[in-house]
Amino acid sequence: MYLRRRQEIAELSAGQQPGEAPPHVDYLPVEDDVWRTVSAALADLHERYAVDEYRAGAAALNLPTVCVPQLSEVSARLGSLTGWRVQAVPGLVPTRMFYGSLASRTFMSTQYVRHPSVPFYTPEPDIIHELIGHVNALASPRIAAVYEAAGRASLRADTPADLERFSRVFWFTLEFGVAMQHGGLRTFGAGLLSSFGEIQAFRNASIREVDVEAMATFDYDISHFQEVLFSSPSFDVAEARMLAFFDGFGV
């Protein structure tokens, strides 16, 4: 039943062309329940563990809390804030396509909702991860600029090895980046911001100072909580370091 539902939602966006508005999805009550449960739980955790810049973006975007948002409405709101848009995709897309779209201020998002039996976990990105983790951040002009710089950098990755190096730095920054703020460790990474479990546990990881060379070659496992994270002394420093790496990548 669940897999059939996922396929139904995926088929709505199959064949979508760049620039087309995301299709409308008639979400089921159980899907709205999952969104409502996770959205409320994460909002409380973001107050404690998310950096101020992310929370400012989330406040500006103001995603609905009682039902799954329609991507078309989110995209329109995001466009008015930072000039970005959301494009619906059926599922995972090729790595180069996903990263490359960021250069044109486009974020590719799935529309399905994770299984209701495990509302706080998903083995692959769903609309909760996409919107709460990434798109909230894209409503911050500062973070959106970093994503755009990352997209441009990915287009300069001429070889698979270059793309892998880029991807690892993206992983340890925009997916799992952390920084000191208000006397404690906070996060701006989408992977942490959308994970009910890991956002509460990330401070137990081995925290290392940001080292781009180490990040670019460090192995990671997507199937469990990250054992090593790279931190900056402030979000301002993290932002400067990310922009320096992405703007200089492949130049």
Backbone angles phi, psi at 107, to 5 degrees: -110, 125
Query: Is 134 an active-site residue?
Result: yes
Catalytic-labelled residue, pool 53, 148, 175, 198: 175
Residue 192 tokens read as 């942490």
Catalytic residue at 129?
yes
* CB neighbour burial string for 178-207, b if at least 16 within 10 angstroms, e if fewer: bbbbeeebbbbbbbbbbbeebbeebeebee
Which of 39, 101, 154, 194 is the catalytic position? Answer: 194
- Among this protein's residues, is 175 annotated catalytic? yes
Q: Are 242 and 149 in contact (CB under 8 A)?
A: yes
Quick one: tokens of 90?
Answer: 């059926």
Catalytic annotation, pick one of 13, 75, 109, 134 = 134
The separation between the first and the last C-alpha atoms of the chain, rounded to the nearest angstrom, is 49
Q: Which of 13, 31, 46, 129 is catalytic?
A: 129
Polymer length of the chain = 251
Which residues sit opposite 180 in a β-bridge? Answer: 185
Torsion of CA 125, 129, 130, 131, to 10 degrees: 160
Separation of CA 180 from chain center: 20
R_g of the chain, CA atoms, integer Å:
17
In angstroms, the Cα distances linking 122 to 3, 161, 234 are: 14, 28, 30
The SS3 assignment for 240 reads helix
Does residue 47 have an active-site annotation? no
d(CA 132, CA 58): 8
Active-site residues: which are they? 129, 134, 175, 194
